[in-house]
Structure 1
Amino acid sequence: MLKYELIPGQLLYEGLITEENIFSSAAVAEDIILLTHEKEYWENLRDLTLGPREVRRIGFPLTAQLVERERRIAQGTIDGCMYAREYGVAFNVAGGTHHAGSNWGEGFCLLNDQAVAANYLLSNRLASSVLIIDLDVHQGNGTAQIFENVPEVFTLSIHAEKNFPFRKERSDLDIGLDLGTGDEAYLQILTSTLEPLFSRLKPDFVFYLSGVDVLATDKLGHLALSREGCRERDRRVFELCKKYEIPVQVSMGGGYSKRITDIVEAHCNTFRVAHSLYF
Structure 2
Amino acid sequence: MSLPIVHHPAFDARFDEAHRFPMSKFTRLADILVEDGIVGPAGFFMPAPAPAGWLRLAHDPRYVDQVLHGQVPPEIEKAIGFKVDASVAMRSRTATGGTVLTARLALAEGLACNTAGGSHHASAAGGAGFSVFNDVAVAAHVLLADGDVSKVLVVDCDVHQGDGTARIFAGDPRVFTLSLHGEKNYPPEKAVSDLDVPLPDRMEDAAYLDVLGPALHTAFDRARPDLVFYNAGVDPHVDDRLGRLSLTSRGLAERDRRVLSFFRERGLPVASVIGGGYSRDIDALAHRHSIIHRVASEFV
Category of TM-score, reference length = shorter chain: over 0.9
The TM-score normalised by the length of structure 2 is: 0.89
Of 162, 168, 175 in structure 2, the residue corresponding to residue 153 of structure 1 is 175
Could you say which residue in structure 2 is the equivalent of 1:228? 250
Equivalent residue, structure 2, for 1:26: 48
* Percent identity for Structure 1 against Structure 2: 40
Q: Distance between the aligned counterparts of 1:132 and 1:57, measured in 2?
A: 24
| 1:36 aligns to 2:77 (yes or no) | no
Structure 2 CA distance for partners of 1:183 and 1:22, relative to 1, 3 Å: same
Q: Distance in 2 between matches of 1:242 and 1:213?
A: 24
Structure 1 equivalent of residue 281 of structure 2 = 259
For structure 1, list consecutive stretches of 5 or more residues without a partner in the other structure.
none
Structure 1 counterpart of 2:196, one-letter code? D
Query: Is residue 2:209 matched to residue 1:187?
Result: yes
How much does 1:197 deviate? Answer: 2.4
Q: Could you tell me how far apart the structure 2 residues matched to 1:23 and 1:16 are?
A: 13
Asked whether 1:173 is paired with 2:195, we answer yes
Residues 176 and 219 in structure 2, CA contact (< 8 A), matched pair in contact too: no
Residue 141 to residue 200, structure 1, CA distance change in 2 (3 Å): closer
* Ranges in structure 2 where 5+ consecutive residues have no aligned partner: 1-22
What value does the CA root-mean-square deviation take over the aligned residues? Answer: 1.3
Q: In the alignment, which residue of structure 2 is the partner of 1:238?
A: 260
1:213 and 1:257 in contact (8 A); partners too: no
Equivalent residue, structure 2, for 1:129: 151
Which of 96, 109, 113 is matched with 2:118 structurally?
Answer: 96
Q: 2 CA distance for matches of 1:56 and 1:272?
A: 35
Q: C-alpha separation between the residues in 1 aligned to 2:83 and 2:282?
A: 24
Do 2:160 and 2:181's aligned partners in 1 also have CA atoms closer than 8 Å?
Answer: yes
CA shift digits 1:185-226 (9 cap, x unpaired): 100000111123224432110000000000001111000001
Q: Deviations over 1:144-182 (max 9, x none)?
A: 110011110000110001111111111111111111111
Give the number of equivalent residue pairs: 278
Shift of 1:246: 0.9
- Residue of structure 1 equivalent to 2:98: 76
Deviation at 1:258, TM superposition (A): 4.3
Which of the numbers 175, 186, 191 marks the counterpart of 1:164?
Answer: 186
Residue 82 of structure 1: how far off its partner (Å): 1.2
- TM-score, with structure 1 as normaliser: 0.96
Q: Which of 51-60 and 107-116 deviates more?
A: 51-60
